[in-house]
């Protein structure tokens, strides 16, 4: 289902963005 796939992609993007932000903040 396209909407579910989009939701999964958005969740991955948010997780990646959060990880990058946390990594940058820790530095």
Residue 3: half-sphere exposure toward Cβ, Cα within 13 Å = 0
In the predicted model, is pLDDT for residue 13 greater than 90?
Answer: yes
Mean pLDDT calculated for residue range 5-23: 92
CA 11, 12, 16, 22 torsion: positive or negative? positive
Mean pLDDT calculated for residue range 3-14: 91
The pLDDT value given to residue 17: 93
Name the pTM for this structure: 0.55
The pLDDT value given to residue 2: 83
The pLDDT > 70 percentage for the chain reads: 96
In the predicted model, is pLDDT for residue 26 greater than 90?
Answer: no
User: What's the Cα-to-Cα distance from 24 to each of 11, 19, 21, rounded to whole Å?
Assistant: 20, 9, 5
DSSP 8-state symbol, 1: -
């Amino acid at each position: 289902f396209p909407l579910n796939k989009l939701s999964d992609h958005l969740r991955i993007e948010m997780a990646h963005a959060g990880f990058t932000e946390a990594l940058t903040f820790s530095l």
